[in-house]
Every structure is written in structure tokens, then in C-alpha cells.
A and B are shown apart, each in its own frame.
Chain A
Amino acid sequence: MYVRAFWGLMLRDARVLAREFIPFLLRTIMNPLLFTFVFTYVFPKIGAGISPGGSTNVSFATVIAPGLVAVAIFFQGIAAVALPLATELGGTREIEDRVMAPLPVSMVALEKVVWSSLQSIIAAAAVLPMVLLVSAEPVSVTVASWPMLIAVVLLAAFVAGYLGLVIGTVVKPKQIGLIFSLVVVPVTFLGCTYYPWAQLTNIRWLQIVTLINPLVYVCEGLRIALTPGIKHMPAAAVILALLALLAALAYLGTRLFIRRVID
């Protein structure tokens, strides 16, 4: 019964994204492109190639490829929900129109997360080939396990979406920029994006502390699926952690959204 209303909401979001698809793609690619270009093209070419350390002999590009894909999913997933939502809940109260659609308020939130997940997946699909193309070093990426890849990408996209829902509901539009600088960027840098978690044994305290960072599990999960040669966390731990995070964030995000929207 609510399917048509849900579909209607998706159509509206699709129209808005289609209108600004090129800017969306550019925004998604820009950061990972520059990073890949500098550290896996320029650095090796000028003789300053980074050695990933540890006991493996893969290139730095291979280590960061899953990490950059993970960041793209995460960052776009959060932004795709949080940024429009902060505006819609702000002065214009544009959220009213969506909430007055004939479906439960919780499904309005779900639609936002589902739509952002689609954008996350598009972002991932754009970043991985880009890394393969740009890097001067060899990138040994294979799909070792399709089920694992699909599971991690989907879980990551939804976790990011619900995290975006929490941020968009709680943070005022003026402070969104601040939150991105204070929270999202540190999460990105310390999410085992540029180094595998297993290699942090020399910085034990960091290895423990970063376990609260959801991005760590996404990166490790993508390493299991794409670059299995690198030592990684057990697959079961990754999946369980992501499922737990998804459950917690979905519950919290939905409750916060409903409370914000209905007096």
C-alpha cells in the first residue's frame, strides 16, 4: 500500500539528482582522484613512491584502493542524506511535503537512506576504475568474493545513510560544515583507509581506539573482497560489526527523525 508513495519519493529524488548529476560525479571523484594522482602517480614517478610496509609486497595503490572506495561510499552516503535533510528541516520546513505523503514517517526516513545508498554505490563504481586508471603503480585488485563485496558495499551504504540521518536530524544547517570538518574528515583519515588495520600493531593504542570507527570495518571488508592478499580482520567480525552498527544507527536515526518531524 505504501509502495506507490515510496516510489513517488524516489522519483522526485531521481529528478533532482539528474538535474545535477555532473556536479555530483565531480564532487565524488575530486578528492580520491587528487589523492590517487599525487600518491600513486606523482610520488612513484619522482622516486618518492610510498612503501606500504608490513610483510606483503603489494603496492601502496593496492592498499589504498579499497580504502578510497570505502571513503567514497561513506562520505557520499552521509552527505546525500545529511545535507538536504538539514535544509529541509530548517527554515523552509520543506520536509512537510514529504511527511504529508500517505506513508508512515519512518518510511520517509527509509526512502532517504535507500536513495543515498544508490548514490553511494554509484560513487564506489566511479572511484574504483578511476584508481586503476590513474595509478602508475600496479594495482592488484580482484573480486575474491562477490557475496562479500555485495554484502559490504550494501551494509556500508546503509550505515552511512543512517549516520547521515542522525547527523542531519541533530545538527543545525549552520553547523553542518563544522561537523564535517570535526567528525567526518577524522573518520576518513583514521578509518584504516590508507593502511590495513592489522599493521597497526606497532601503534597498539591507535589500533584499539579506531575500532569505534565504522569506516574501519568497511575498509577491511572491502580488502577481504578485493585485495585478499593483504592481512585483514576476520570476515565474520567485519560483517557482525557492520550489522550491529546498522541496527543501532537505523533505530536511533529513525527515532530522532520522527521526533524532530512530529511534535
Chain B
Amino acid sequence: MTAEAQPLSLDLRDVVKRYAPDAPNAVDGIDLAVARGEIFGLLGPNGAGKTTTIGIATTRVKPTSGTVIVTGVDVRAHPSVAKRHIGVVTQFNTLDRACTVEENLYFHGRFFGMPRRTAHARAARLLESFGIGERSQTMVAELSGGLARRTQLACALMHHPEVLFLDEPTTGLDPQSRMALWDSVRGLRETEGMAVVLTTHYIEEADALCDRVAVMNAGKILVCDTPEVIKRNSGDGVLVTLRLREANPALAERLRTLDGVGAVDADEATIKVHVTGADGVVPQVVALAGTDLRDLAVAEPSLETAFIALTGRGLSQ
């Protein structure tokens, strides 16, 4: 069977989700295709619709309309079959508080029909490879955030899913735990050959981990490509970050009117200016900021510039 003949890991077509009849669409007609073995990122601010999209793909949210196919299985028609092929790590710590770390993995295996010995053996192997072997008898309520997230990841992998969904996997984690999780995710492709679909609002995470990124805002996908292509296409701009003494919305407005300035994102006392124009624009920006300026940074095109250029807002909002 050639690679082309194998079904996509995730195939969303024209998916819409409206939570209430008069509410705006949380997901507004999106198309997504994730190939086998791909690490795919959904990048966007809070409220963009990323968690809803993951929920729709993982049977937790019923779409208002559209087609949802995971590894060739129609999720809307056969949710229980689809669940066999997917592993999910949610934003929240959903570990079973009444059980130990090992029991969480073991019972997860039993839910998926693994025999007793197989489940114990696989649990032990996963606990070792994630470095939580020593805590296997600890009640999960006593785990730190990073260890809990690793345990959730190990659980999700127990039944050898073909697609792993990670919803904001490193939110709330310290930098070390975050690096460790990135390493684990990268390693998964080598050892398990599975596709990974993750949502994040951290640009560096999307840049570091993902083969392809879909930038999402207000329920729509704005662009979907490799990080390099997205960065390239955001123009020749640079990102100028102004740190002021205090918030100054009037300054942000004046900056927007300058020639050669693309999008301006003001967040409290920090203003990010996407400069697309030719020489001389950056000094004008600095001059306008005047004595209010505490600090200044100029950065090369990145996913962040691309994001601001595409949406006119920063990811921190």
C-alpha cells in the first residue's frame, strides 16, 4: 500500500460548531487534513476555536455540521470505533484521583480490552520511558503539574493509538517540564509512527515541534503550511517590540497610521509593530514612542510576525 493510499490521520471538511442558536460560530467552516506520521499544530489565541476543534475530532463535541474522519473512521457515525484509534491529552488534569499512577495506566489499558498481563507490562514500559517509574505507586493527586501531564501522556499511549491529540500540552508547565514534553512528542514519531495533532498558543512551540501549522482565529483557519513557508509569506517585515513606561493606546493608533506599518498589537505597556515598509520606518516608530520608551527589540520574521500580520492581534490576548 503506497503512502497515498493510506487514509489521512485526520480529515475535517467544512466543520461548523455553534454552541447556541444565536451565538457566533465557535468553529466556522474549517477544513483540515493531517497525514500519517505528521506532527500538526493548531496555533491561535484563547477563544480561537482550537479546543472545540480538538473536541470535535475526539468525539467530545458534536459538530453542528461537516464531516469528521479520523484514520478512515467517520467520527459522527461511529464514535466508539473512532475512540479505539485516538489518544487524547486534555488541557485539564483528568487523571483518576482515586487511583495510583500505575493503576491509571493499567485500567486505561483494560478499558481498551488489553489483557491483564499485557496491560501491566505496557504500563511498566511506558512509566520507565517517561521517567515516572519511581512514582508508579503514588496517588495521582500528589503529582506535580509536569509529572501529571507526563502520566496523562503515558495513559493516552497505552492502547497504541494512531493519532494523538494534545490540547495545550505545555500550558502551566515550568520550562524544564515543557522541554521534556517536547522531547517526548518528538520521540513518539520515531517509536510509534503516530500522527500528533496539538493545539497551542505558544509560537515557539509550534515552530519547534510542528511539521505543519494551521493558524486559527475566531473559528477560522487563516493559513495552513509549514512554519518556514508561513514565515516567508508574512512579508519582508520585521517585528518591533516597544516596551513603554505605561500603556499608551493613543500611541498605538498613531503608529497604525504610519506608512510601512502593517499590524499593530497593543497589550498593556507593550506594543508590537509589524513593519513591512522600506528603510526608515523603524526610526520613525521609535521617534513617535519618544521618552515613553523603556526598551526596544527588533526581530526577524517569525511565526509571531506572521500571526500579527494575519490577525492584527497578538497571541497573548
Q: Which residue of chain A has its CB nearest to the CB of B113? A: A4
A-B contact pairs, 9 of them (CB 8 A): A2-B80, A8-B111, A19-B98, A92-B93, A96-B94, A98-B111, A100-B58, A102-B111, A263-B55
Instruction: Mark interface residues in B75-98 (1 if CB within 8 Å of A CB, else 0).
Output: 000011101100010101111111
Residue from B98, B107, B111 whose CB has the most chain A CB atoms within 10 Å: B111
Q: Which residues of A pack against B, CB within 8 Å?
A: 2, 4-5, 7-9, 11-12, 15-16, 19, 84, 87, 92-104, 262-263
From B52, B59, B62, B95, A94 is in contact (CB under 8 Å) with B95
Report chain A residues within 8 Å CB of B81: 102
- The answer to whether B99 touches A100 (Cβ under 8 A) is no
Q: A12-B107, A96-B94 are in contact. Are A102 and B99 (CB under 8 A)?
A: no
- The answer to whether B92 touches A16 (Cβ under 8 A) is no
Q: How many A-B residue pairs have CB under 8 A?
A: 83
- The answer to whether B60 touches A93 (Cβ under 8 A) is no
From A19, A84, A101, A262, B112 is in contact (CB under 8 Å) with A101
From A8, A12, A98, B99 is in contact (CB under 8 Å) with A12
B110 part of interface (Cβ distance < 8 Å): yes
- The answer to whether B103 touches A15 (Cβ under 8 A) is yes
B144 to chain A, nearest CB (A): 16
Report chain A residues within 8 Å CB of B112: 4-5, 8, 101-102
Residue from B95, B96, B104, B108 whose CB has the most chain A CB atoms within 10 Å: B96
From A11, A95, A100, A262, B107 is in contact (CB under 8 Å) with A11
In the bound complex, how far is the Cα of B206 from the Cα of A150, in angstroms? 60
In the bound complex, how far is the Cα of B3 from the Cα of A113, in angstroms? 46
Report chain B residues within 8 Å CB of A102: 80-81, 83-84, 111-113
- The answer to whether A97 touches B62 (Cβ under 8 A) is no
Report chain A residues within 8 Å CB of B52: 263
- The answer to whether A101 touches B55 (Cβ under 8 A) is no
Report chain A residues within 8 Å CB of B94: 92-97
In the bound complex, how far is the Cα of B137 from the Cα of A19, in angstroms? 14
Report chain A residues within 8 Å CB of B80: 2, 102-104
Report chain B residues within 8 Å CB of A99: 60
From B19, B58, B98, B110, A8 is in contact (CB under 8 Å) with B110
- The answer to whether A5 touches B113 (Cβ under 8 A) is yes
B61 part of interface (Cβ distance < 8 Å): yes
- The answer to whether B110 touches A11 (Cβ under 8 A) is yes
Q: Knowing that A8-B110, A12-B110 are A-B contacts, what are 19 other residue pairs whose CB atoms are under 8 Å apart, sorted by A's residue number?
A: A5-B111, A5-B113, A8-B111, A12-B111, A92-B92, A94-B94, A96-B60, A99-B60, A100-B59, A100-B83, A101-B83, A101-B111, A101-B112, A102-B81, A102-B83, A102-B84, A104-B79, A263-B52, A263-B55
B259 to chain A, nearest CB (A): 46
